[in-house]
Amino acid sequence: MSLLKEPKTNSGWPNSWWFSVLNNVDSLNHIHVALKVFGIVAYTIVDRINCEIIVSVSDLVLLAIFSLFRIYGIVIGVQNELWETLVDGEPAAIVYGFASLMVLVIVVISVTPIYVMVHRQKVQDILKDFKEYDDEVGQLGYPMNHQYYHFRVSVFLTICLAALGAIVAITLSLRNIEYQLDVLIFLAFFCAGCFGNTLFHTALNVLILGVHGRLQLLNRCLKELLQETDGRSINQHKVGQLRRDVVIVQAAKLYDKLCDASEGISVVFSSPLILQSINTFFVHLLSSYAGMRVFLHQATPQQTVNAGLYLSWSLYFLFFVCQTILYLAALRHQKSILLGIVHRSLNLPQNEFLIDRFHQLSEQITSRAPHITFFFFELHPLIIVQACGELATYLLILVQFDMQ
């Protein structure tokens, strides 16, 4: 079964053997716990039914402790140049490039919990939009399968953390690291920052997946309730017409809730992801530079091994970007399916008295869509291609200087 496809009922697989999950907050509980363990979120969900969030004194104390330790890690790393244990023997461009990126990882993970705490009301609104959507679509006879969503989140979370753990272990095992206290502290906070950024981006992806699954459920609901065959008596037809009228109005409200939730997700995740994207971009740039030195036979055997490690880090971060693009494309596809269902239902004989309702719903779907906006990076593809071409030229110039 595809992990992007919702099961048709709320019973059966995986309900027979997976954990009992009662609502949308419980379905996200494990990733929320992981985010809190790594100090990415500084709030507490006090009411799982009504999705109420507060910032307690203990949350503020933990945030202060995490922040102080991260600042300490940055200070000792910069003062003692502790990144040399990971980039020893590399050209100056790679050494100082990756040094800046390692510090930036810790800075990003220090700023993110403060930003999320400031926008905790948006987080609460997202959870409430999901809850109200699930309640209303459940009244139409199509309950959301929270267990299956919980299962998918668990799969993605396990894969992401296991892959990063393997990359970190391989990277450290291939280094001759002097296990001094300062080095261990700096590397610990760098690795914790990588895990934190991984969890934050995974949280974004699973929320996009939540919007996608709910839109997919709405499509199935409308397809089955609006495209009924017309072989009934006059009285049955009138009752069906009234029910379809209610379904169309309800569908418009449900669609609006998904759009509101996606806008809230954009606000909560966009700014921290801008910093993460800058970090990821320069990781790609430096790994490309190291790879070009290998292909042009300018690298030593140790630098060749290092280039492979840099490439693995680069591909790992690229995986999250590709995953986000995949989910957003699937979300847009579900919107197209919804629009097609509305247009097909509009042409059915039993819906001829509901034409105005269908036109209103069609205009609403066309004018607004559930979409995640990354404000700074919404660039035209030609600009991105041109920028990449300029950077490739710059990399070749750097390699030529090395050869001389």
Domain ranges, residue 127: 24-403
Q: SS3 for 208?
A: helix
Q: In this structure, is residue 52 part of a structural domain?
A: yes
Q: In this structure, is residue 188 part of a structural domain?
A: yes
Contacts (Cβ under 8 Å, ≥6 apart) of 93: 286, 289, 398
Q: In this structure, is residue 40 part of a structural domain?
A: yes
- Euclidean distance between CA atoms 203 and 345, whole angstroms: 36
- Euclidean distance between CA atoms 97 and 92, whole angstroms: 8
Q: In this structure, is residue 211 part of a structural domain?
A: yes
Q: In this structure, is residue 42 part of a structural domain?
A: yes
Domain count, the chain: 1
Q: SS3 for 47?
A: strand
pLDDT score, position 255: 92
- Euclidean distance between CA atoms 198 and 206, whole angstroms: 12
pLDDT score, position 397: 67
pLDDT score, position 254: 92
Q: In this structure, is residue 198 part of a structural domain?
A: yes
10-residue averages of pLDDT along the chain (404 residues): 52 62 85 88 85 88 89 83 72 81 86 90 92 88 85 86 84 70 80 87 91 91 73 42 77 92 90 83 82 80 83 84 86 90 81 80 87 61 59 64 56
Q: In this structure, is residue 260 part of a structural domain?
A: yes
The pTM score is 0.85
